[in-house]
Structure 1
């Protein structure tokens, strides 16, 4: 436990302060920091038992890498292809269910040897949720992880949806890069799926962008704050089966 705290909290903060500061404003006020700590330690322990094909090189993992990963959503086996892609780039992707009172969707953190780890809980077992959470944590790796003592990010995406959180530039940057990797704004701003989000228009845009239709449907639902829309397109119950969790 002490190694974990020292690595993620190099300035000697308490673990409670460390989570609060490093994760921006994406943690629930009711979060049990010790449960969250236990979950992160579990992610690290699992990662350390897996051998990666190569060492992570930040120069070779960029915003373009996220665009490549987003395209994998187009394939039926996309989640497993993404995990394979990341392992080839020196990044662990670990799936571990959330613990009670963690209110957690995903995390990005560094092992002691500076290897990045992405942990996802699949708290919401939907295709759109998987790809956004994955790309959000990967955006942290591209933009923030390991810089200015940011060695840990933990995210409750319900805070983004509800708008309860305070303005946080770091989380906004990760959101933007994740979304832009999936659905570039220059395409979205004039898309029929934006102005008239029918099933036909969503499927057409997904085909054009070569991404899963669930990602388009999820963006529509979020922007309109209507989570009854397009419910048959978001891929409920389709992700956990890949990872046997």
Structure 2
């Protein structure tokens, strides 16, 4: 099996690459940070093919895909993992630049990668696309604004892929994690404020990148007649709460 992983330089992507390679498969690992990409490739050996790629740049995508050697081109699994959240400010205070970056990465980049690799899967009559969503795509929360909206797009896009792909042998899954620690996610979201990022996970036992990687591997290696439409994952310390209500005290 050949798996193509975007955003493989850290977090979920790196853990997924290790999981697939450890189980005897080959991984095309892509990302923007060349040093991290080469370090992961050196760790994984000949079973990994590093590909410098920015999912927000269509030229970067086409250039990278054109450089894939012939014996790596029959890609069985695409994992659209590249994505990010930026800031937790309310909508009226949020940065439009942050919003644009999240849309470009979480939506446009995911769509571009899917469109680039999907036709060959359909032509072969097999393949799996795993899109990384989030519980934020289904459950609103203060400060989630555009990030949550991008993940709602991932959910609906994946379901619409399923509608288009019925009978083709190509599968599509939305893998939607909740609270997950041990990655750069909160550090990036909070613009490098490591102390604030650590507090997000304080007193919890969150999911890990390895948990997400094992789930993605399970999805990809199910018998080919099985499609998992959506998996939402949370640690046991996380759950659903009441609606957000702002109260004014009577004077």
TM class by smaller structure: under 0.3
Q: Comparing both chains, which one has the higher relative contact order based on Cα–Cα distances under 8 Å and sequence gaps of 6 or more?
A: 1
Report the structure, 1 or 2, having the larger strand content.
2
Report the structure, 1 or 2, having the larger helix content.
1
